[in-house]
Structure 1
Amino acid sequence: MESTETRVQSWGLQSLQAVWFTQSQLPDVAAVFTAATGAKPDNVQQPSIGLSLATGSDGKHQFHCQAVPGRTDFFKFSIPGQGVPLDFEVSSCLADFEAGILRAGDVVGPANRLALVSNLLREVGDQAEASDIIAKLVGWPVPFPDAQDLNIQVNRRARLSTGTSVNRLVRWFYQSLQEVVVGAVPAVKMRDFAALALDINTVPSELPATFNSAEQALIWKSICEESNRLLADRSLSSLK
């Protein structure tokens, strides 16, 4: 088992998000939620016309499904505990998420585009340490030590094994998050992180194109495979 010190020095998943861009009517968000998680949602709402929400938890993760005209989103977050919640078993967490969205695709129906967004964090001592980590990952030494708010974004397209072209948008940046420390007198603690956001999404076709659930499954598998590779490497050079 990893020690607490090792985990602090590791990258962990903060969230995963799958997106189906559609032209059909809104799906049943409760059915999408159940297909993706294997359980019924704890709460289903329609807070406004054209917006449906389904949320729930399995005790370890929070799940959120929402549908608006033109898109359906499914999110997975680690549940807050002590500190900022991160899932350090990145590959395993992504594999479980992939299995869920493959099932959910049958409920969502035909989609014009697909996207998978992953957010990674690594806790650091201060902003300067985050900048140093980011500089090493992108291969660009920061010429001055007092640089702040380092934010580097790169997109490089690639063709999946399915023949589908995707954008691979990666952003490396510094992030500061609040942690509420529970005690006799609750306090707010700021924690610093080096952050990486990865968005792999299918390129809009010049011709009308719709993916059925079987086609989606092949594309999702390729997107998740590429996400897993990039999240494990995390460097700019991995966009080969």
Structure 2
Amino acid sequence: MSRTVLGLAAGTAAMTLVMATDACAAVLWDGDAAKGPGVFETVLCPSPGGVSVKNWGDAHGDFFEFLKPAGSERCEAHSVNRPELLRNDATLWFGWGSMTKTGNAQTVFQWKSNGTNDRNQQNYPVIMKVEDSRLKVWYVAPGERWVSIGSAPWAPESWHSVQLGITTSSADAGAAEVWLDGSRIARRTGIRTWDDLGNKPRWGTYGSTVSGVSSTNWIDDPTLGDTRGGVD
């Protein structure tokens, strides 16, 4: 069965969808929770709270629980433990299962730029939020210019399948698309997706508007590959 992947159109800076077969798919990083939080480069969580491995005895097996306690702004996993896989001028696909306790977990994923303050031009080129029981996706251009690129209903306390495809580019030749439960809900081409010092993924629950309450995001089987079929 063919799958769509992001790729550069020959001879142009515009992005087009090209076809790749499952036989060509490669898993580059496997964040199986059975391996523990060491699959991430580091974890940014307060105590009490934090990232732990859970198993409810169902088909999901082991998965990660991100528990942000009241009084804190974030509980996030920070990058993969093989950061050399994250590079410019590449096609990267991230896939994972997610279930939030409420319909307002706020930021649940960031394609976060390395460096802080004047050491980056884009704090987070791609960001996803669970807000008002919707998964909302933005492209954030240099100068903190937020552009909504898609959204879809999100049921709390239910598992969802998410795939994010990013064609990385430090110019305006990149692309991003998001699939939720088998349907594409967001796509943007001709964008800058790789910052001066590079980027990394962050999963969890984060936001000043939820700092006063407890927030939980469960993440199942985060994976990095080179096609959507490889991480679906």
TM-score by length of 1: 0.31
**Which structure carries more strand by proportion?**
2
Larger radius of gyration: 1
Identify the structure with bigger relative contact order (alpha carbons < 8 Å, sequence gap 6+): 2
**Which structure carries more helix by proportion?**
1
